[in-house]
C-alpha cells in the first residue's frame, strides 16, 4: 500500500509540476487599489445549480442571483431597504391604490438590441399570473393583479391594475424581471427557456453548462450605469468544504461559509490577508412553531412558558460565537416595522415551572413528567434533517424541558416529508426558519384566514385584534402609519408567542480581497440590492493575465 501510494505521488508530481499555477493575490497597496477599474473576471460560487434561466420560473435564491446579472426588475432596493427606480424611471399610484403607472427608461434595451417596450412588461406580468407558467416563487407577488384592466399607454408607459390595494405591492415589482415578448412569446414557455436568457440586464449570457458553470459578459451596449467587471463566472460547488478550499486557493472569489469554518478562519492572519471575512444579518430567522390545533399549545401562557425554557443567550454565545441575535418577535431589527421596545423573553425555567404549576400541570405520579387531567405533558418536536445546528438546539431544548418535567421527543424528518406534514397540520411542534420578504407584511403567516393550503399560517394562530391590525396595515399606503400598526402587532405577537423565536443568525461570507467595493445592504447582505454586486471591481483587473485554474 505504501509503495503504491508513493508511486502515485510521483505520477502526480510529473503531471502537475509544470502546471502549478501562481496564485498570488494582486499587488497590494498601489494606487490601483483605491480607484475603481474596469475589466477582469469575477469567480463566484453557487451552492446549488440554477434550476431555470427563465426568471419567471425561478424557484430558488440561486436562480435569482444569476438572473440579477441578466435581467432588470421594474424597481430595485437600495442599501437601506428603500425602493428605487430600476427599469422604471418613475411611477405614480392612483389614489385608490389599485393602479400603478410605470414610466420605463427610454434608453433600455434587451441584450439582442431591441428596445424594452411597455408591451414586454405586460407580457411578463401575464406570464407570471398564468397558472400554466407555474411561477412558483413570484406568482404570489401578483395574486391580486387584474390583467384585463392592465394596459399599455404608450411605448414606454404601462399601467398595472390590481383588484385590491396593497401597501406591499410596489415592493413586489422587484420580482418583475422583464422579458422580451418577441423572444419568450414563441414556443413552450415552461420548457423552452430554461437554458437560455435574453434580458435587459448589464450582462449577457455567454454559456451555461448544467452542474458546472454559468458565464456572463458585460454588455458593451448596456443602457444603464456600466458595471466595472467584464466577466462573471458562476461556478457550481455544492460541497461546503470544497468551496472553502476553492476560495482559499483562489478558484472562486467568494463563498458563504458555515459558522464554524468562518470563526476558525477569521483568526488566521495568513487567511485574513487574502480573504475578507464578512457577516451580515439577512431577513431570516429560526423559530419553533407550536401547532395551536393541539390542545396542549392552545393557551398562550403555555407557549410563553415553553419559550422561557429555551436558553437563547447560551445558544448564541456557544453555538454561534455571538454571531446571532435574539428576537423579540416577528419583525427583525433591519426592518422599518421593527419595534425595539418589546422585551425579549428571558430564559427562566423556574418561572416557567411556576406558570405550569399555576395552570394545574403537576407531577402527581412521580414519574418526572408533569400531568394535567391524567395526561402527561409530552410532544414531538419535528426537525428537518440536514442541519446539525437545528438538531443541537433541539437537544439542548429537550434537556431544558426535561428539567421542568416536560417530555419532548425529537423526530428528524427529511425536507419533503416535513413540508407535507407541516402543511397538512400533522405535527405538534417544529423547528423551522423563514426567509422573509423585504416588505414586512406578515398577513400570510399570522392572519386567521391564511391557514394552509391558502397561506402559511402553519400554527393556526388566530387573534381578532392581530387580524385587524394586519388587515389595516396591508392597505395603509402611508409608511409611517403602517409602521405604527406593525409596532402594535409586534407587541401582540410577542405576547401571544405563536412561535418561540429562536434567533436571527448572521450570514457569513469570505470574499477575496482582490474584489473591491464589496458593501452590504440592509436585509440583503452582499447581493440583490442596488448597486450591490454590480458595483464591485477587481484590483489589478487590467494587468492580470488569464488564469488557468480548475473548476
Residues in region 236-265 near another protein by CB under 8 A: 236-239, 241-242, 245-246, 248-249, 251
Grid cell digits, residue 281? 444579518
For another protein, how many residues bind (rule: CB under 8 A)? 72
Shortest separation between residue 98's beta carbon and another protein, angstroms:
21
Grid cell digits, residue 282? 439577512
Question: Under rule CB under 8 A, which residues in 72-131 are in contact with another protein?
Answer: 131
- Do residues 303 and 290 make contact, with C-beta atoms less than 8 angstroms apart? yes
Shortest separation between residue 170's beta carbon and another protein, angstroms:
16
Angle at 223 between CA 222 and CA 229, to 5 degrees: 40
The verdict on 550 binding another protein (CB under 8 A) reads: yes
Shortest separation between residue 464's beta carbon and another protein, angstroms:
24
Shortest separation between residue 440's beta carbon and another protein, angstroms:
11
Alpha carbons 279 and 147: distance in angstroms, whole number: 42
Stretch that binds another protein, among 44-52, 218-226, 341-349, 473-481 (CB under 8 A): 44-52
Alpha carbons 473 and 251: distance in angstroms, whole number: 48
3-class secondary-structure state, position 76: strand
Shortest separation between residue 43's beta carbon and another protein, angstroms:
8
- Among 225, 318, 417, 465, contact with another protein (rule: CB under 8 A): 417
- Among 92, 225, 420, 517, contact with another protein (rule: CB under 8 A): 420
Work out whether the CA dihedral 420, 422, 428, 430 comes out positive or negative: positive
Work out whether the CA dihedral 537, 539, 540, 544 comes out positive or negative: negative
Give the residue with the Cβ less far from another protein, 51 or 344: 51
- One DSSP character per residue, 274-300 reads HEEEEEE-BSEEEEEEE-TTSGGG-SH
Which H helix or E strand runs over 46? strand 41-46
The verdict on 342 binding another protein (CB under 8 A) reads: no
Q: Provide the CA 255 distance to its chain's centre, in angstroms.
A: 15
The verdict on 456 binding another protein (CB under 8 A) reads: yes
Query: Residues 10-39: x/- map of binding to another protein (CB under 8 A)?
Result: -xxx-xxx-xxx-x----------------
Question: Under rule CB under 8 A, which residues in 205-224 are in contact with another protein?
Answer: 210-212
Question: Under rule CB under 8 A, which residues in 425-444 are in contact with another protein?
Answer: 432, 434-437, 444
- Among 112, 196, 299, 414, contact with another protein (rule: CB under 8 A): 414
Shortest separation between residue 105's beta carbon and another protein, angstroms:
27
Grid cell digits, residue 115? 428596445
- Do residues 439 and 168 make contact, with C-beta atoms less than 8 angstroms apart? yes
Question: Under rule CB under 8 A, which residues in 46-65 are in contact with another protein?
Answer: 49, 51-52, 57, 59
Alpha carbons 339 and 456: distance in angstroms, whole number: 23
- Among 170, 344, 423, 492, contact with another protein (rule: CB under 8 A): 423
The verdict on 422 binding another protein (CB under 8 A) reads: yes
Grid cell digits, residue 452? 394552509
- Among 95, 453, 464, 480, contact with another protein (rule: CB under 8 A): 453
Give the residue with the Cβ less far from another protein, 81 or 355: 81
The verdict on 4 binding another protein (CB under 8 A) reads: yes
Helix axes 479-496, 464-475, angle to 10 degrees: 160
Q: Provide the CA 186 distance to its chain's centre, in angstroms.
A: 32
Question: Under rule CB under 8 A, which residues in 138-157 are in contact with another protein?
Answer: 138-141, 143
The verdict on 366 binding another protein (CB under 8 A) reads: no
Which residues have C-beta within 8 Å of that of residue 529, sequence separation ≥ 6?
Answer: 76, 77, 78, 79, 81, 521, 522, 523
What torsion, rounded to 10 degrees, do the Cα atoms 224, 227, 233, 234 define?
A: -70
The verdict on 314 binding another protein (CB under 8 A) reads: no
Could you identify the residue written with the cell 416535513?
418
The verdict on 544 binding another protein (CB under 8 A) reads: no
The verdict on 341 binding another protein (CB under 8 A) reads: no
Give the residue with the Cβ less far from another protein, 35 or 548: 548
Shortest separation between residue 252's beta carbon and another protein, angstroms:
10
Give the residue with the Cβ less far from another protein, 81 or 436: 436
Grid cell digits, residue 261? 469554518
- Among 170, 263, 369, 419, contact with another protein (rule: CB under 8 A): 419
Query: Residues 178-213, buried b or exposed e (16+ Cβ, 10 A)?
Result: bbbbebbeeeebbeebeeebbbbbbbbbeebeeeeb
The verdict on 449 binding another protein (CB under 8 A) reads: no
Amino acid at each position: 500500500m505504501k509503495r503504491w501510494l508513493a508511486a502515485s505521488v510521483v505520477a502526480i508530481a510529473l503531471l502537475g509540476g509544470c502546471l502549478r499555477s501562481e496564485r498570488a493575490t494582486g499587488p497590494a497597496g498601489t494606487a490601483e487599489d483605491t480607484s475603481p477599474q474596469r475589466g477582469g473576471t469575477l469567480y463566484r460560487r453557487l451552492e446549488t445549480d440554477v434550476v431555470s434561466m427563465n426568471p419567471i420560473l425561478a424557484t430558488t435564491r440561486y436562480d435569482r442571483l444569476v438572473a440579477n446579472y441578466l435581467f432588470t426588475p421594474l424597481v430595485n432596493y437600495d442599501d437601506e431597504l428603500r425602493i428605487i427606480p430600476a427599469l422604471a424611471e418613475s411611477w405614480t399610484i392612483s389614489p385608490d391604490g389599485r393602479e400603478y403607472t410605470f414610466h420605463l427608461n427610454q434608453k433600455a434595451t434587451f441584450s439582442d438590441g431591441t428596445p424594452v417596450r411597455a408591451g414586454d412588461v405586460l407580457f411578463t406580468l401575464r406570464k407570471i399570473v398564468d397558472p400554466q407558467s407555474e411561477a412558483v416563487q413570484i406568482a404570489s407577488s401578483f395574486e391580486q393583479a387584474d390583467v384585463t384592466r392592465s394596459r399599455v399607454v404608450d411605448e414606454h408607459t404601462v399601467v398595472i391594475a390590481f383588484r385590491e390595494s396593497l401597501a406591499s405591492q410596489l415592493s413586489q415589482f422587484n420580482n418583475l424581471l422583464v422579458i422580451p415578448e418577441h423572444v419568450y412569446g414563441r414556443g413552450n414557455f415552461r420548457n423552452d427557456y430554461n437554458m437560455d436568457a435574453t434580458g435587459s440586464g448589464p450582462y449577457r449570457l455567454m454559456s451555461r453548462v448544467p452542474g458546472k458553470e454559468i458565464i456572463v459578459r458585460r454588455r458593451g451596449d448596456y443602457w444603464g450605469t456600466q458595471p466595472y467587471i467584464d466577466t462573471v463566472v458562476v461556478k457550481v460547488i455544492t460541497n461546503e468544504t470544497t468551496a472553502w478550499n476553492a476560495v482559499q486557493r483562489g478558484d472562486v472569489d467568494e463563498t458563504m461559509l458555515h459558522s464554524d469554518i468562518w470563526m476558525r478562519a477569521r483568526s488566521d492572519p495568513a487567511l485574513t490577508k487574502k480573504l475578507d471575512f464578512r457577516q451580515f444579518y439577512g431577513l431570516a430567522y429560526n423559530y419553533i412553531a407550536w401547532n395551536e390545533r393541539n390542545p396542549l399549545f392552545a393557551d398562550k401562557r403555555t407557549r410563553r412558558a415553553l419559550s422561557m425554557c429555551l436558553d437563547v443567550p447560551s445558544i448564541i454565545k456557544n453555538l454561534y460565537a455571538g454571531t446571532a441575535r435574539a428576537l423579540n418577535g416577528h419583525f427583525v431589527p433591519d426592518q422599518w416595522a421593527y419595534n425595539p421596545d418589546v422585551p425579549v423573553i428571558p430564559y427562566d425555567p423556574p418561572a416557567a415551572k411556576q406558570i405550569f404549576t399555576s395552570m394545574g400541570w403537576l407531577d402527581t405520579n412521580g414519574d418526572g413528567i408533569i400531568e394535567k387531567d391524567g395526561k402527561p405533558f409530552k410532544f414531538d418536536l419535528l426537525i428537518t434533517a440536514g442541519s446539525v445546528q437545528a438538531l443541537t438546539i433541539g437537544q439542548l431544548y429537550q434537556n431544558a424541558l426535561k428539567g421542568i418535567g416536560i417530555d419532548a421527543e425529537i423526530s428528524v424528518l427529511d425536507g419533503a416529508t416535513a413540508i407535507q406534514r407541516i402543511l397538512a397540520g400533522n405535527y405538534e411542534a417544529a423547528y423551522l426558519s423563514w426567509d422573509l420578504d423585504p416588505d414586512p407584511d406578515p398577513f400570510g403567516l399570522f392572519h386567521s384566514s391564511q391557514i394552509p393550503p391558502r397561506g402559511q399560517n402553519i400554527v393556526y394562530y388566530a387573534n381578532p385584534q392581530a387580524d385587524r391590525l394586519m388587515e389595516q396595515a396591508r392597505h395603509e399606503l402611508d409608511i409611517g402609519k403602517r409602521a405604527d400598526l406593525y409596532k402594535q402587532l409586534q407587541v401582540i405577537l410577542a405576547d401571544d408567542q405563536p412561535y418561540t423565536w429562536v434567533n436571527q443568525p448572521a450570514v457569513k461570507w469570505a470574499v477575496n480581497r482582490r474584489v473591491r467595493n464589496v458593501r452590504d445592504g440592509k436585509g440583503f447582505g452582499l447581493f440583490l440590492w442596488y448597486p450591490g454586486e454590480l458595483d464591485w471591481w477587481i484590483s489589478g483587473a487590467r494587468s492580470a493575465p488569464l488564469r488557468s485554474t480548475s473548476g
